[in-house]
Amino acid sequence: MGNVLEVKGIRKSFGPVEALRGVDLTLQSGEVLALVGDNGAGKSTLIKHIAGVYRPDSGEIRLDGRKLDLLSPAAARDLGIETVFQDLALADDLSVGANIFLGREPTRRWLGILPYIDNGLIREETAGLLKRLNSHVPGKAKSVARLSGGQRQAVAIARAIYWKAKVVIMDEPTAALAVMERQNVIKYARELAASGAGVIYIGHNLVEILDVADRIAVMFRGAIVHTTTAGETSQETLIKYMTGYHDKQAGAQRPEQEREKRHV
Amino acid sequence: MFRKFALAASVTAFPLLLATAAQAQDTVSVIVKATTSEYWQWVFKGAEQAGKDLNLTIEELGSPKDDAAAQISILESAAGKKPAAIVISPTIYEALGDPIAAVTAAGTPVIVIDSGAKTDQYAAFLTTNNETGGRAAADAMAQCIKERTGKAAGKVAFLTAMAGHESLDSRDKGFKDGLAAYPELTLVGNRVANNEEAEGMSLTADMLTKDSDLVGLFADNAQMGTGAGTAISEKSLGDKFCLVAFDSDKGEVEHLNDGSIYALVIQDPFMMGYAGVWYGYAAAHGVRLPRLVDTGVGVVTKANMNDPAFAGLLDVTKRSLSPFTGK
Amino acid sequence: MKDASPRTLLHNLPVESYVVAFTVVLWLILAVTAPNFLTGDNISNMMRQVSISGIIAIGVLCTIIIAGIDLSVGSVAAFCGVLVAQLLSHGLDVPLAIVLTLAAGILIGALNALSVGKLGIPAFIVTLAGLQVYRGLALLISGGMTVGGLPPGIKEFARGSLFHIPNLFLTLLAVAIIVHYFLSFTRTGRYLYALGSNSEATRRLGIPVFRITLIAYVLCSGLATLAGILLVSRLSVASPSMGNAYELQAIAAVVVGGASLFGGRGTVLGTVAGAILFTTMSNGAVLLDVDPFWEMVLEGLLIALVVYLDNLQKKRLSGV
C-alpha cells in the first residue's frame, strides 16, 4: 500500500525553544507506526501538527499526496485524520452511539420539513461496529460515563473505523488502563489497521510497542533519530536512541543515522 | 386622619434657618429600605422637594431589596462622608439600632423615618403609626362586609409581604387587634409571600380555594395589594369580596378604581421624605426637635378617591405641596 | 450484554422519574386531604401559577446543560416586563412592543454568551452581575414606580383560556414542546449536552462551541423575557420588583428535575415536573394551612432529598 501520510522537514519553535528540528515521517495505509521517545522529545508537538492543532514554521504535511494547508482540527477530521486522545474525547453524558456519531449525526425529516437525528440508524450502526470490535461494550448504555477505560477506547476506535479515517493518531491509549484492557486496545489498533487506516501509536511501554507496531520511530530532542521495523529491534536498542546514548558514541554512527532518517 | 400639619407647629424655628440655607450646599443622605418599591420613590420625591426648598444636595441611597446587612454598609459609608444629616428608614428593628447609635455618637444627626430601630440615639422619629393603620384596615374591612352582607361577619385572612419586618408586623398586629372589635369576623389564615406581586396573586387565589366563603383579605403592602387585587379582578369578585390593602402604588390605585380593592390604607411617604430632610437639616443646625412625630394614615375608598385631599397622596405627580415654604 | 437485568432496568429509568413520582404522590395525598384540591378552579389556578416559573426554568435548563448558569433571569423578566409596559404606555402597538422587547432579551442573552464564551468570565459571575444590572435598569426605566395604564388587550391574554386550558399554560406547553424537540432531536440540541459533558472534546470534534453557548444563553434570556411579558399580562401592571428570586425557583425546578449542575444532563420533562412539584407544594401548603415558614423548610428539604436519591441511584448503578 502507498504512503497515506508524508511529513517533510517540519520545523517548529515556541519562542527560543526549538520543539521540532526538521522531522520527516511517512505512514502507510494498514500499518501501525509507533512513535516513541522520552517526555519532551517532541512527540506531542509532532502529532498536533498532523491533527491540525499547530501549523509548522516550515516544512509540509501531505495526505494522499495532497499538501495540507491552514489546517484546523475540524478540517483535519473532515479530511480523515482522527485523533484518539490521551484523555479521551468522549462526552460522558451521551450514549455510545451519540459519541461515535458526535458532530456528524445522520438526520431525517418529519414530513419532509422538520429535521431530527436518526437514532435508529445510529443504534444499528453502533451495534454492528461494537460487534466487529468484539469489545463487550454495552451498546445500549445511556451514557459512556460508566464504561471502563478500555471500553471507552473501543468507542473512540469505533468512531475512527466508522468514519473510515485515513490516519488515526492514538496518543498513549493505554496510559490509565488495567493489563487486560491494554491487550484489548492493542487488538483494536490492529483491527483499525486491518480496516485500512494508517495508525500512529504513541506509547511509553516498549513491550507493548513491540507487540502492536509494524514500524517504530524514535524521537529525541525534536527530531526522529531512528526508524526500524518491530521485528528487527529490541528494547535495548530503542532505549539507547530514546536516551540519546547513540549521540555519545563514535561519530561514525551519525551519518548512518542521518541516512536512515532520510529513508523514513 | 392626617396630622401632618401638626408638624408645622414644631418647626417654628425653621424660617430662621432658611436665611442661612442658601449659602452652603450641605448634603443630607436619605437611606430607604428598598429602592424597588414605589413607596420609597415617593419618599425620595419628598426629600428632593425639601432639597430644592433648602438648597441642599440630597443623596438618595438604599439597596434594591429589603436587605439589612446591605443597609448597614450603606449607612456606614454614607456616614463616612460626613453629611449634614442622615435620614434613614431601618429595614430591621434590631439590626439597625447599634449602627444608628454609632452614627449619632460620631456627631451626625440621624432622623429615623417610617420604621423604628432599637436605639434611642437619634434626633427624631417620623412615622406612620403602623398599628393604627392596621386597625384602620380592620375597620374598613368590617364596614365593607357590613355594606355588602348586612352584618360584619364571616371569614377573613391577611397576606404578609415578608417575614420579620417591623412595620409589616405592626400592621398585621394592628389588623388582628382591630378585628377583635368584630367578634363575628374570624381570622382563618395568613400567608407570607416573597414581596413579589405574582406570588401575592397566587397565594390570594389559593386562599380563596381553601376558603371559598372568605369575605375579606388584608394585604399589608403595595406588592401584596397589587397581587391580591389582580387575583380578585381576575375572578371578578370585586363586588362581593372586601380587599383592603396598605399603600397606594399604581397597580393598587387601578384596582381601587376597578373595584377589586375596597380600600387603601395610605400613608404619606412624600411627607416623610420631605419632613425627614427638614428635620435633619434643623438638627444639624442645633434646633431641638420633638422625638416622635406621627405623619398619619388615611383610608381611601373608591367613594372618596377623587377628593382633592387625597389627590397628591394617590399620585405623587399631582403633589404640589411644600408646606413650610408654601411654594 | 445483560439488558434484561434489574440493574440495567433501573439504569434506564429516566432521570426525571423521581420528581414525577414525588409529584404524583403529592397529588394523591392532597386529593385525599384537601377537599378543594381537585377542583377545576384550583387546577386552572395551578396551571396559571406554574406557567411563568416553568418557562423561566426551561430557559435556565439550557444554560445548566452546557455547565453554565443564569442567575439573571428574574431581573431580566422584571426589566423586560417594565420595558414592554413602558413601550406600550408610550403608545406603541402591542406586537411591535413585544418584538422590540424580545429583541432586547435576545441581546441580553448574546451579551451573557459573549462574556462567558469569548471573554472567559465564569457564567456565575457574569449572570450575578446581570442580576444586579437588569434589576437596576428596571428601576431606572420605571423611575422605581409601577408602570400602569396599559391597553386592556394585554391582560386579556393571561386571563383567557382555550378549551378550559389557560392561555398561560398553553404557552408553557408550546415552549416545552419546542425546547424538548430542540434538545432531544436536533444536532445543535445534542451539542448542548456534549458541550456540558466535555467541552474540550466538543471543541476538538470541530463543533462550533461558541455558537452553542450563544444559543443556550439567548434561549434562556429570551424565555425570561417572554416570562416578563407574561407577568405584565398577568398583573396588568409592570413593577420593578417583579420576578424577585425567580432565578432560585428556576434552578430548584431544574435540579429537582434531574439536571446536573456540572452540565450534560437535564430534560424539559423533568424541569416542568420540578416546576409543577413546587407549585403543588405551595398550593397544598395554603390549602392545608401549613405554616408558611414550615413550607419554606419543607421545600428546601425536598430539593436535598430528590438530589440525594438521584445521586444514590447513580452510585448504586456504577457499582461503587
Query: Domain extents for chain B?
Result: 6-128+267-296, 130-266
Contact B169, B288 (CB under 8 A): no
Contact B219, B237 (CB under 8 A): no
Local structure of A8: helix, strand or coil: strand
Write out the CATH class of domain A3-91+148-263.
alpha beta
Q: How far, in Å, CA of C58 to CA of C179, rounded?
A: 8
Please give, rounded to a whole number of angstroms, the shortest distance from the CA of C126 to a CA of chain A: 26
* pLDDT at site A86: 58
Question: Mean pLDDT throughout A231-257?
Answer: 68
- Does C149 contact B at CB distance below 8 Å? yes
Q: Right CATH number for C39-289 from 1.10.3470, 3.30.70, 1.10.10, 3.40.50?
A: 1.10.3470
C285 half-sphere exposure, CB direction, 13 A CA radius: 23
Alpha carbon of residue C115 to chain centroid: 22
* pLDDT at site C152: 82
Taking each continuous run of H as one helix and of E as one strand, the counts in chain C are 14, 2
Burial class, A260, CB count within 10 angstroms (exposed 0-12 / middle 13-18 / buried 19+): middle
Please give, rounded to a whole number of angstroms, the shortest distance from the CA of C203 to a CA of chain A: 9
**Record: contact B209-C49, CB cut-off 8 A:** no
> Does residue A138 have a pLDDT over 80?
no
Give the tens place of pLDDT for each residue, B39-52: 888 899 889 988 88
CB pairs < 8 Å spanning A and C: 82
Contact B214, B243 (CB under 8 A): no
> Which of A102, A119, A140 has the most C C-beta neighbours within 10 Å, making it the best mutation to test the interface with C?
A102
Which of the four pLDDT bands, split at 50, 70 and 90, describes residue A247? low
Contact B86, B31 (CB under 8 A): yes
Number of residues that this document lists for chain C: 320
A258 half-sphere exposure, CB direction, 13 A CA radius: 6
Alpha carbon of residue B197 to chain centroid: 17
Look at the domain B130-266 and name its fold: Rossmann fold (3.40.50)
Q: Which helix (H) or strand (E) holds A11?
A: strand A3-14
* pLDDT at site C310: 67
**Record: contact A77-C11, CB cut-off 8 A:** no
Please give, rounded to a whole number of angstroms, the shortest distance from the CA of A181 to a CA of chain C: 18
- Residue in this structure with the C-alpha cell 397622596, named with its chain if needed: B313
Burial class, B80, CB count within 10 angstroms (exposed 0-12 / middle 13-18 / buried 19+): exposed
> Which residues are CB-contacts of C231 (< 8 A; sequence separation ≥ 6)?
B197, B198, C52, C77, C81, C238, C242, C243
Any bridge partners for residue C147, and if so which? C238
Question: Mean pLDDT throughout C210-236?
Answer: 94
Q: For chain A, list the contacting chains (3+ Cβ pairs, <8 Å).
A: C
Residue C166 burial (CB count, 10 A): 22
Q: Which residue, among B224, B242, B218, has the nearest Cα to B302 in the 3D structure?
A: B242
Contact B276, B114 (CB under 8 A): no
Q: What are the backbone dihedrals phi and psi of residue C126, each rounded to the nearest 5 degrees, phi first?
A: -55, -50
Q: How does the average pLDDT of chain C come out, rounded? A: 87
Please give the full DSSP string across C123-185, using - where no structure is assigned: HHHHHHHHHHHHHHHHHHHHTTS-B----HHHHHHHH-EETTEEHHHHHHHHHHHHHHHHHHH
Angle formed by the axes of helices C167-185 and C152-159, to 10°?
A: 70
Q: Which helix (H) or strand (E) holds B231?
A: helix B222-234
Contact B222, B37 (CB under 8 A): yes
**Record: contact C293-B192, CB cut-off 8 A:** yes
- Chain C nearest-CA residue for A131: C1
**Record: contact A89-C190, CB cut-off 8 A:** no
Strand order in the sheet with A3-14: A17-28, A3-14, A58-63, A66-67
- Chain B nearest-CA residue for C159: B234
Q: C68: phi > 0 → left, psi -120 to 50 → alpha, else beta; which?
A: beta
Give the tens place of pLDDT for each residue, C244-280: 889 988 999 998 888 888 888 899 999 999 999 999 9
- Side chain identity at B38, as an amino acid letter? E
C30 interaction partners in chain B (CB closer than 8 Å): none
Contact B117, B97 (CB under 8 A): yes
Q: Which helix (H) or strand (E) holds A158?
A: helix A149-162
Write out the CATH class of domain B6-128+267-296.
alpha beta
Residue A258 burial (CB count, 10 A): 11
**Record: contact C206-A83, CB cut-off 8 A:** no
- Does B45 contact C at CB distance below 8 Å? no
Task: Return the beta strands (E) in chain B as ranges.
Answer: 27-31, 57-61, 85-88, 110-113, 124-127, 154-160, 185-192, 214-219, 242-246, 263-266, 292-294, 298-301
- Chain C nearest-CA residue for B159: C292
> Which of A92, A111, A137, A143 has the most C C-beta neighbours within 10 Å, making it the best mutation to test the interface with C?
A92
Q: Do domains B6-128+267-296 and B130-266 have the same CATH topology?
A: yes
> Does residue C7 have a pLDDT over 70?
no
> Which residues are CB-contacts of B60 (< 8 A; sequence separation ≥ 6)?
B30, B32, B44, B47, B48
- Chain C nearest-CA residue for A118: C185
Strands B263-266 and B298-301: antiparallel
Domain-wise residue ranges, chain C: 39-289
Question: Mean pLDDT throughout B212-217?
Answer: 92
CA angle C145, C149, C151 (to 5 degrees): 140
> Does residue B2 have a pLDDT over 90?
no
Q: What are the backbone dihedrals phi and psi of residue A61, each rounded to the nearest 5 degrees, phi first?
A: -120, 130
Q: How far, in Å, CA of A195 to CA of A178, rounded?
A: 26
Q: How far, in Å, CA of A132 to CA of A123, rounded?
A: 14
**Record: contact B223-C139, CB cut-off 8 A:** no
* pLDDT at site C12: 54
Q: Which residues of chain A approach chain C closer than 8 Å at the C-beta?
A: 72-75, 77-78, 83, 85, 87-94, 98, 102-103, 105, 107, 114-117, 138-142, 145-146
- Side chain identity at A149, as an amino acid letter? G
* pLDDT at site C59: 96
- Does B40 contact C at CB distance below 8 Å? yes
Alpha carbon of residue A85 to chain centroid: 8
> Does residue B4 have a pLDDT over 70?
no
Tell me if there are at least 3 CB pairs under 8 Å linking chains C and A: yes
Q: How far, in Å, CA of B290 to CA of B185, rounded?
A: 39
User: B173-182, B289-298, C236-245: which has the highest mean pLDDT?
Assistant: B173-182
B109 half-sphere exposure, CB direction, 13 A CA radius: 23
Cβ density class C130-147: b for 16+ within 10 Å, e for less: bbebbbbbbbebbebbbb
Q: How far, in Å, CA of A52 to CA of C306, rounded?
A: 45
Q: Which residue, among C158, C80, C128, has the nearest Cα to C248 in the 3D structure?
A: C128
Least confident residue range of A108-112, A161-165, B319-323, C203-207: B319-323
Local structure of B254: helix, strand or coil: helix
Give the tens place of pLDDT for each residue, C46-91: 998 999 999 999 999 999 999 999 999 999 999 999 999 999 988 8
Give the tens place of pLDDT for each residue, A53-96: 888 888 888 888 888 876 777 788 888 888 876 566 788 888 88
* pLDDT at site B6: 43
- Does C231 contact B at CB distance below 8 Å? yes
- Chain B nearest-CA residue for C160: B234
A72 interaction partners in chain C (CB closer than 8 Å): 206
The partner residue sitting opposite A103, judged by closest CB among C12, C186, C207, is: C207
Q: How far, in Å, CA of B14 to CA of C179, rounded?
A: 65
B 237-276 → C contacts, CB under 8 A = 249-251, 253-254
Q: What are the backbone dihedrals phi and psi of residue A225, each rounded to the nearest 5 degrees, phi first?
A: -105, -10
> Which of C233, C235, C299 has the most B C-beta neighbours within 10 Å, making it the best mutation to test the interface with B?
C235
> Which of A54, A71, A72, A93 has the most C C-beta neighbours within 10 Å, making it the best mutation to test the interface with C?
A93
ipTM of this predicted structure: 0.81
> Does residue C315 have a pLDDT over 80?
no
